Amino acid sequence: MSASLDEFAEQKLAALKQRNLLRTLIETERLGPVEVLRGGKRLISFSCNDYLNLSQHQAIKAAAVEATEKYGVGSGASRLVTGNHPLFAELEAKLAKLKGAEAACVFGSGYLANTGIVPALAGADDMVAVDELSHACIFAGARLTGGAVHVFRHNDTGHLREILAAHRRDHPRALIVTDGVFSMDGDLAPIGELADIAAEHDAWLMTDDAHGIGVVGGGRGSSYVNGGQGRVPLQMGTLSKAVGGYGGYLCASRAVIGLIRTRCRTLIYSTGLPPATVAAAIAALELIESDPDYAALPLTKAKAFTRALGLPEAESPIVPIVLGDSERTLAAARLLEDEGFLVVPIRPPTVPDGTARLRVTFTAAHGDEDIQRLAGIIRARILDEAA
Ligand SMILES: *Cc1c(COP(=O)(O)O)cnc(C)c1O
């Protein structure tokens, strides 16, 4: 049909393959809270973001089925048209309460939330300061503003202060955006100090709590640790990780949420989430609120793992084992797969060049013996080999 198009794609693919950066989709069937089936083999997954195993929870599945029966499979349109089924208001009230905010707005996904919220609040005259290790969709949102995008060194508040001192006065508005829990590193942002800096410079602080809600800060997320308590005016997050389902959200003041509902393109021009997904999130949040001990389990498991390996203590359920080289990381993942563990290798451009890694994630249901066996294999056969 178009020879130049296929040639373009083939050359690109060949070049990526040569650099060990070719990505493929591997069929994976979830068999339960921690087990998956891949290539006919049962594996214990240490790669899911389903930290509380709620995607497999019986009562939550039942809530999704019931909502489907009652309201149908899809929402039928954008929420601004006819897609705003009755479950949204209930979910938004729950999110706002959990996050200590006046109001909330639910989006189709976390990616849609970030690429919609940032350009709805900042424009071509404005500036956005972003932590260098923030998620790709924060950068995508920042670029969509058409304004000045300044990248500060990871968790380096001194660098952020320098940037604001040099540039803040040139712009009517400034936004500071960061992951609350860094998705590939598992460390936390210094939320309290970022809130101080934001106040000093009249900048608006926005945190992405994709990996924090349900698992840190007693389930309330990363804006409730490191001195952040109630000081983040823009709390964004997803329903796709610990909450177990799908979707994104922003918790903020009534005025901000009103503006987002009116002006945010990824809300206005995209179909509302299906009733089943919204009902599942409501049921999941009820569980998270009612059982903080359960919400604490993934971090407890991650700490057992970092202790076993003599690594710095885990701050979240995400623990990176940085190996550097993509080929070596792929080989390590293959070795673990032979031992019955799924630990997906993470390579550039998802992480910076030269920092390919195993990203190990812990969930409430992981067995302590499996965690110790995984740590033992990583210590003896992956890390020692480097020494
Ligand atoms: C996963 C993730 C997102 C995207 O959320 P989805 O709901 O999966 O689209 C956004 N930000 C961070 C930090 C994430 O880890």
Give the mean pLDDT of 157-178: 98
Give the mean pLDDT of 221-246: 94
Q: Which of 238, 258, 290 is the last residue of a domain?
A: 290
- 135 with 225, same domain: the answer is yes
Q: What is the pLDDT of residues 12-60, one digit of tens each?
A: 999 999 987 888 899 999 999 999 999 999 999 999 999 999 999 999 9
Burial class (CB in 10 A: 0-12, 13-18, 19+), 176: buried
E-state strands within 180-316: 204-208, 234-238, 248-252
Cβ neighbours around 269 below 10 Å, total: 11
Residue tagged active-site, from 211, 240, 270, 366: 211
Helix (H, G, I), strand (E, B) or coil at 33: coil
Protein residue whose Cα sits closest to atom 1 of ligand 1: 210
Sheet holding 103-107, edge to edge: 103-107, 248-252, 234-238, 204-208, 174-179, 127-131, 148-152
Q: Please give the distance, rounded to the nearest whole angstrom, from the Cα atom of residue 51 to the centre of ligand 1.
A: 14
The tokens describing 34, both together, are 């921690």
Give the mean pLDDT of 187-199: 97
Active site annotation includes 303? no
Q: Are 54 and 289 in contact (CB under 8 A)?
A: no
Residue tagged active-site, from 45, 55, 109, 183: 183
- 192 with 69, same domain: the answer is yes
Q: Could you tell me if residue 349 is inside a domain?
A: yes
| Range of the structural domain that residue 300 is part of | 23-54+294-386
Mean pLDDT of the chain: 96
Protein residue whose Cα sits closest to atom 10 of ligand 1: 110
- 50 with 117, same domain: the answer is no
Q: Could you tell me if residue 100 is inside a domain?
A: yes
- 33 with 71, same domain: the answer is no
Q: Could you tell me if residue 8 is inside a domain?
A: no
Protein residue whose Cα sits closest to atom 3 of ligand 1: 110
Q: Could you tell me if residue 2 is inside a domain?
A: no
Protein residue whose Cα sits closest to atom 7 of ligand 1: 110
Q: Please give the distance, rounded to the nearest whole angstrom, from the Cα atom of residue 15 to the centre of ligand 1.
A: 28
Q: Could you tell me if residue 307 is inside a domain?
A: yes
- 38 with 150, same domain: the answer is no
Report whether pLDDT(177) > 80.
yes
Please give the number of the atom of ligand 1 that sits closest to the Cα of 248.
7
Active site annotation includes 57? no
pLDDT at 385: 64
Q: Does 358 contact ligand 1 (Cβ within 6 A)?
A: no
- 254 with 381, same domain: the answer is no
- 164 with 30, same domain: the answer is no
Report whether pLDDT(7) > 70.
yes
Task: Provide, rounded to the nearest whole percent, the portion of the chain with pLDDT above 70.
Answer: 99
pLDDT at 125: 98
Q: Which of 268, 290, 312 is the last residue of a domain?
A: 290
The tokens describing 384, both together, are 């020692």
- 171 with 274, same domain: the answer is yes
- 105 with 128, same domain: the answer is yes
Q: Could you tell me if residue 204 is inside a domain?
A: yes
CATH number reported for the structural domain that contains residue 305 in this entry: 3.90.1150.10
CATH number reported for the structural domain that contains residue 275 in this entry: 3.40.640.10
Task: Provide, rounded to the nearest whole percent, the portion of the chain with pLDDT above 90.
Answer: 94
Number of structural domains the chain divides into = 2
Give the mean pLDDT of 115-128: 98
Q: Are 333 and 344 in contact (CB under 8 A)?
A: yes
Give the mean pLDDT of 364-387: 91
Residue tagged active-site, from 94, 135, 171, 241: 241
Q: Does 181 contact ligand 1 (Cβ within 6 A)?
A: no
Q: Does 179 contact ligand 1 (Cβ within 6 A)?
A: yes
- 92 with 125, same domain: the answer is yes
- 329 with 310, same domain: the answer is yes
pLDDT at 130: 98
Report whether pLDDT(353) > 90.
yes
Q: DSSP secondary structure string, 140-192?
A: HHHHHT-SEEEEEPTT-HHHHHHHHHHHGGG-S-EEEEEESB-TTT--B--HH
Distance CA 291, CA 314 (A): 21
Q: Does 210 contact ligand 1 (Cβ within 6 A)?
A: yes
Question: Among 18-32, 251-265, 334-348, which stretch is predicted with the lowest mean pLDDT?
Answer: 18-32
Active site annotation includes 183? yes
pLDDT at 19: 87
- 256 with 321, same domain: the answer is no
Q: Please give the distance, rounded to the nearest whole angstrom, from the Cα atom of residue 376 to the centre of ligand 1.
A: 31
Report whether pLDDT(386) > 80.
no
Q: Which of 290, 319, 334 is the last residue of a domain?
A: 290
